[in-house]
Amino acid sequence: MSAIDFKVIKKDGPTAARVGSLTTPHGRIDTPIFMPVGTQATVKAMTPEELGEVGAQIILANTYHLYIRPGHELVARMGGLHEFMRWKGPILTDSGGFQVFSLTELRKITEDGVKFQSHLDGSYHFISPETAVAIQEALGGDIIMCFDECPPYPAEYDYVRRSMELTSRWARRCKEAKRRNDQALFGIVQGGMFTELRERSAHELCEIGFDGYALGGLSVGEEKRVMYDIMESCAPFLPEDKPRYVMGIGAPEDLIEGINFGFDMFDCVMPTRNARNGMLFTSFGRVNIKGAAYAEDRSPIDPECGCYVCRNYSRAYLRHLYRAGEILASRLNTWHNLHYYLSLMAEARKAIACGRFAQFRREFYAKRHKGGEE
């Protein structure tokens, strides 16, 4: 029996967009949803209470980083991630596969798993599918992910095929290794930018049977059109009655397209990382708050935004904080960006429920075009 319950409540009709309800041991999630990334058991610059205020329903934590520091055994002794970080809502933990992918010069992939060096101190470690599941069970997230190999882009067909086949074998081992009944396990569809391999991967994962299905291996350097083509072609390969998750994509337009193709869950560091670099997201496009044009600008970041930051602070003040290197700049910028992302999801859900997502999508792009973005 699955640890989660997922129901599709309403389909848009003209598009593949859908509104759903995902119930987990730590609460219910309205989909489509964006998950803020809390890599090291914290969404940078935000407290758990503030995450709730901006509308976060579920957050993501990173298996690789928490395994390296402070260690999954310590987190388990502290009562698991929920107790450790004092977040009461649902948590999804990724398997660490993407982080291992990023350690190209520091890892070796075999049938058994991956041997790699820590990015912190160079110490050697080994993670197998069984280890990845054990670490995530110790962390205690509501949703855990299969261990996968994320192929680089570009890559030759034969390499991607072998990688996809390895991911399928690892997925079966992950399911066999899973012991906790209060956690859901998602399989990860791989296959690079080859639709034939993506279809085969999805078919093999569905045969194994998982609580939900994710697309991995996107936003690794490919062009937007290629990313969108893969999302659009892969959605029909995945069960309609299971959550569909696109991993690691995060520009606002990527989320809108993902929803349009019928996906339910998204995550990315983009809103938080960009906030710390002075890049803010608005209804009319991106704002680089570092710009001299904002030095004496009394207006809020986004006149259409009702977040705490836009209600209280001017662009001029936010520019000053950033240029002065103040910690408050990261906090306020992050607050605004996450509020924007989560509000965008809420507005999309409302549009789908009303059968007007196609119109909502057109208006989204029209505003950005009017604001000067392509």
Domains annotated for the chain, with CATH where assigned, are 5-268 (3.20.20.105), 275-370 (no CATH)
Which candidate, 127, 192, 200, places its Cα nearest to that of 159? 192
> Does 267 qualify as catalytic in the annotation?
yes
pLDDT number for residue 304: 96
Asked if 258 and 232 count as a contact pair (C-beta separation under 8 A), the reply is: no
pLDDT number for residue 101: 66
Which candidate, 253, 337, 374, places its Cα nearest to that of 54? 337
Give the type of residue at 58.
I
Q: For 244, list phi and psi in degrees, rounded to 5.
A: -115, 130
pTM: 0.97
Asked if 183 and 137 count as a contact pair (C-beta separation under 8 A), the reply is: yes
Considering 142, 211, 267, 302, which one is annotated as catalytic?
Answer: 267
Considering 12, 94, 142, 302, which one is annotated as catalytic?
Answer: 94
Residue corresponding to tokens 């041991």 = 25
> Does 121 qualify as catalytic in the annotation?
no
Q: How many CA atoms lie within 13 A of 126 on its CB side?
A: 6
Paired tokens of 94: 């990724």
Which candidate, 70, 46, 61, 55, places its Cα nearest to that of 96? 61
Asked if 86 and 48 count as a contact pair (C-beta separation under 8 A), the reply is: yes
Residues of the chain with pLDDT under 70: 101, 103-104, 374
